[in-house]
Structure 1
Amino acid sequence: MSEPEIRLQPWETLFEEFNAQQYGMSFDTAAKATGKSPQAVSKLARRLKKASRAHVARIDYGSPGPWRKSATFDDPGEAPHGPLWIYPTREIGWGYLEFDPGEWHPKASTAAHLTAVTELRLALTGMNTDPRIWTSERLLRRRLKSETGRVEVHIHDGWVRDFADVDKVWAVEVELSRKFGEGRLTRALSVALDAAERCELAGVLYFARGAGLRRAVENAATRLAHQRGLDQLSNLEIHDLDITLARKGVR
């Protein structure tokens, strides 16, 4: 027996499209995105899941609790660990993305990074789903496939159009933790910059979490500039992620 169809309000349709572009998001991030209460987000999630438009899962990636048990989404007798996530079914994602995204489910190893990227997107461009304003990583993976069906260039966390110069598009990279090891951070910067140049972008906007990591990125940028015979990298801007989120009211 098929599930009943539901009529979505404009804000719900916008949320579904945004969510499909970003893979999925936690209930908390969904509340920030929509400006709705946690109760309204939970109600929407119930409706979308019942109509087979979305999956709901609890993802434990070490984020701080305590977590409130959900009578709707948690199994009886099971203690909740980690936030609840909502993400579109394959068919609904296909409808919004206009290509088959395949089966996708959130993983604990990448959930924190996906959350940070989504929060940054909200801070910079809000809920705008125009891919000319913000091109999500999910859309980039489709766009940058070669004729062989493989992606042969580094995929950035997103592309964003320059607010001051609409002819410029910047790659966006989000870094949450230090890449330890000989030259790993420098190589990561190099790969991101080379991919931006190959795609004819203005450069890379690098957002690092915390003052310590930002300094490490700045030091890596200085080393990379010297390796390339430059005083500084003119196509790289380094920003503090949490300061940016706080300034824009996202965190």
Structure 2
Amino acid sequence: MVDSLGYRMKFGVIAPSTNTSVEPEYALMQPRGVTNHFGRIVIPDDPVRNDKEFEQLLVNIRGATEEALDAVMTCSPGYVIMGMSAETFWDGAGGAEKLKKKMEKCAGVTVSLGSHACDAALATYQKLNKKKIKKIAVLTPYMPVGDKNVRKFFTDNGYDVVALIGLKSPSPMLIAHEPASKLRNAIMELNGSNPDAIIQVGTNLACSAVAEEAERWLDKPVIAINAATYWFSLRDAGIKDRMEGYGRLMAEA
């Protein structure tokens, strides 16, 4: 017997309790027969005004992640998605690999990370466009210490980060309050550095629709982490359904 609704795949998703964007964005992209089941990393919505407070946010997340994973595994998902971003970039490519191995050991199933999904998205766009991507620009909601780790991840993977805008959102919950107009303006500013691709990270920034529109304006890859991570997880789990409205990855790859 299989799950009556998640008969193709039950995704377990780990996300901070303060995150109000990743769950609805994933829900919009789930194909028939695929269900998303969230385990919340319970953290306070403390102010984030500087690097020290941002690093404390990461301490809070790390302290509650395994408990959230244990909770979501009680529904026996076939695959786990890390629906949070900063930790998946921390300490660059090496840190991401360590995190993936740790989470998979705890979960006993495959675990996807947003950092790896963004890297896979860049590689896939190179195949779609038959054009090398070397220069990238990045949008984050983070403080400088978070931006430093995002930059390190992409540099470790061979990309030149030619521009980066960190929005310095004032708390983890308030990341979701950044308006679409602000995201659009930031993407346009990043495009002034003439990158081959633009990437948005931070799963509580509701950027999937903005990125999909920006791809049409700018005629280049604009990758939103939630769309990239859900696309990557579907494909990695063997689900090939395509859909319009969430960028070329979901529609064509």
For the superposition of Structure 1 and Structure 2, which TM-score range results when normalised by the shorter chain?
A: under 0.3
TM superposition score normalised by structure 2: 0.27
Bigger helix fraction:
2
